[in-house]
Structure 1
Amino acid sequence: MMRLLIATDAWRPQINGVVRSLEYMAVEAPRFGTEVVFLTPERFRSVPMPTYPEIRLSLVRPGSVAGILEEVQPTHVHIATEGPIGLATRLTCTRQGRAFTTSYHTRFPEYVAARTRIPEAWSYRALKRFHGAARAMMVSTPSLERDLAGRGFRNIMRWTRGVDTGLFRPRTERILDVAAPIFLYVGRVAVEKNLDAFLSLDLPGTKVVVGDGPARTGLERTYPEARFLGALTGEDLARVYASSDVFVFPSLTDTFGIVLIEALASGLPIAAFPVTGPLDVIGASGCGVLSPDLREAALGALAIPRERCRAYGETFTWQESARQFFSNIEKAHSDH
């Protein structure tokens, strides 16, 4: 049996695609003969991240990670994030001559550039060094693979994502008592999500935002006509999806966007920019409108049948995502 230690800086109570993906890998692990042990911020003291206090940075030393590896005795190690836990785990593994794999979840250089004056090229150089020591680096989409390969990243493997189609499904009940059509956004409310591009649109009906983050207060003040519902999960989130008409995804930097397939499974067509993430997820499915003019995309998406979106959303399963994930780890080790 594989005993896999997954080191991640992203963990509960954060609500994001990284956490969701890793949780589902743990659920599916027994099906693939694997026991998963997580190395998360729960094991360490932490401090708030500057400019984004909702995210906490762990105070972790490589010596602590070495002790945990000794205790867990994993057969394989996967490093999911490039934060303090990921860095300490990478350093420990390289010192011990222990093989590991990584995954590239977030366009970190673009996020950093949006918040600081650090050039993207510097961040990409650091990331290439971080992932370069891994047996393999997993990415979620073909366009991200092409982009990173063009930047000199190597040993890239594909790992898609899934959706809980039992939870996220069309429903007859509409719980949002606002003017239709309802244009929905779900995700972090932060500068890198480009929410101004959505909230500033001249659209009929109502714009609804689900999620929280450092930009929420300012956006609520700037766009008082929009409805901000805060962070929602589970059944509460699923009912909001099903009560909406179009899912608007203004981000220019997401690598995949699990919220896209949650929306599709709920029967929502997608309006987005033609960038990595939406291009890969929507493709030629006819389940969304991708345009540099986001207003045009949002209005055009209203004509897309909800049944088509649901059928396409059902093709994304966590079982297939897990099959890719665990087989990638085994193959990365067997190839050496």
Structure 2
Amino acid sequence: MRIAIVTDAWSPQVNGVVRTLQSVRAELEKMGHEVLVISPDLFHSMPCPTYPEIRLAFASTNAVGAMLEEFSPQAVHLATEGPVCIAARRWCLQRDFPFTTAYHTQFPDYVSARTGVNPEWVWRYIKWFHGPAQAILAATPSIAATLRAHGLTRLRDWGRGVDLATFADARPDAAIRALPGPVMLYVGRVAVEKNIEAFLTVAHPGSNVVVGDGPALASLKAKFPDVHFLGPKFGADLAAAYAAADVFVFPSKTDTFGLVMIEALAAGTPIAAFPVTGPIDVLTPQVGAMADDLDIAIANALTRDRAACAAYGQTFTWTASARQFLQALVPIVDDEAVAA
């Protein structure tokens, strides 16, 4: 099948959306499908205000439409709610071409955290964008319930996976392992909406380690000089950081899933988190702990068995994720295309 994936999030951005789309594309191509990705790097762009590493593309309907027409897709998926996908959405609606969308991020909460805007105002835009979709892919039951509560009901499940070749049986980073324990690790974008200060202000003794980059990095470095900020890590180096930690702390209250949690689990590291969307859908009592007080969650997570964490984390595969993605496309393509 010829599948067009349109997205406003792509490399060199480093986030869960990009990793998900890249991993699923690779799996789909292994299955024999032809995948076209239309992304911001194909257009002129400008830095997003307050978030310069995200580029806002100047993508016209004509330009995006020309790419789609040349590819002649049998299915179109719009991954994000930005300008590239808006152009593709307009092209699809003009031609009565069905499409699917995905709700990757708690966009209303992100905008509220950065600007103070009432998130319900942003929900009006979310409902407008996703409303015409034949299916909206949601990562967890909690996210599906949130979308349903806002009147979006054409929902399909789309879970996430782990690159087991990289994260399973990783060798711990010796320098991180040598820090005074317990080693408490955060991995992800260093931005206000990730609620990282809740992690950096915990009273639990040990070493706080942050892996990642983002607009809040400089201010957090200045405010928390005792924290070990290691910058971004990838591949085997990232897996080694996960494996070296005694507990992975996930302070975000705005994520839809939390891909980093299952990566950490696959490396054998238990999770401490707030009881919110993402953690409540992903974690079990055997592999993590949730509490409104992160100190309590950390203390409880440190008692979890690392072998159980690894076994559970390694049940999440990108092959399964890609199959769910593909099944969400089935209602909008013909039987012959699906069989391909």
The TM-score range, normalised by the shorter chain, is over 0.9
State the one-letter code of the partner of 1:102: T
Cα distance between partner residues in 2 of 1:304 and 1:187: 23
Residue of structure 1 equivalent to 2:192: 191
Residue of structure 2 equivalent to 1:150: 149
Instruction: Map 1:1-336; keep pairs closer than 5 Å.
Output: 2-175=1-174, 176=176, 177-282=178-283, 284-333=284-333
* Conserved 8 A contact 1:169-1:242: no
Unaligned runs of 5+ in 1: none
Give CA-to-partner distance per residue, 1:306-327, whole Å, 9 cap, x none.
0010010111111111110001
SS at match of 1:183: strand
Give CA-to-partner distance per residue, 1:166-193, whole Å, 9 cap, x none.
2112445442132111000000000000
- The alpha-carbon deviation at position 285 of structure 1 amounts to 4.6
Cα distance between partner residues in 1 of 2:33 and 2:20: 16
Cα distance between partner residues in 1 of 2:334 and 2:274: 39
* Conserved 8 A contact 2:211-2:229: yes
State the one-letter code of the partner of 1:200: T
Give CA-to-partner distance per residue, 1:92-146, whole Å, 9 cap, x none.
1111211111000000000001111321111111111100111100000011111
What is the identity percentage for the equivalent residue pairs of Structure 1 and Structure 2? 50
SS at match of 1:166: helix
Cα distance between partner residues in 1 of 2:116 and 2:241: 37
Cα distance between partner residues in 1 of 2:319 and 2:252: 27
* Conserved 8 A contact 1:207-1:226: yes
* Conserved 8 A contact 2:274-2:290: yes
TM-score, length of structure 2 as denominator length:
0.95
SS at match of 1:134: coil
Pick which of 26-35 and 211-220 moved more. 26-35
SS at match of 2:46: strand
Q: Compared with structure 1, are the counterparts of its residues 11 and 172 closer, same or farther at alpha carbon in structure 2 (3 Å cutoff)?
A: closer
Cα distance between partner residues in 2 of 1:322 and 1:272: 27
- The alpha-carbon deviation at position 236 of structure 1 amounts to 1.0
Unaligned runs of 5+ in 2: 336-340
Q: Compared with structure 1, are the counterparts of its residues 69 and 173 closer, same or farther at alpha carbon in structure 2 (3 Å cutoff)?
A: closer
Aligned length: 333
- The alpha-carbon deviation at position 202 of structure 1 amounts to 1.1
CA RMSD of aligned residues (A): 1.3
Cα distance between partner residues in 2 of 1:224 and 1:180: 18
State the one-letter code of the partner of 2:236: E
Cα distance between partner residues in 2 of 1:183 and 1:61: 45
Cα distance between partner residues in 2 of 1:328 and 1:70: 22
- The alpha-carbon deviation at position 71 of structure 1 amounts to 1.4
Give CA-to-partner distance per residue, 1:287-320, whole Å, 9 cap, x none.
0000001111011111111001001011111111
Give CA-to-partner distance per residue, 1:26-53, whole Å, 9 cap, x none.
1111344421110011210110000011
TM-score, length of structure 1 as denominator length:
0.96
* Conserved 8 A contact 2:171-2:240: no
Cα distance between partner residues in 1 of 2:24 and 2:32: 12
SS at match of 1:85: helix
* Conserved 8 A contact 2:98-2:332: no
SS at match of 2:165: coil
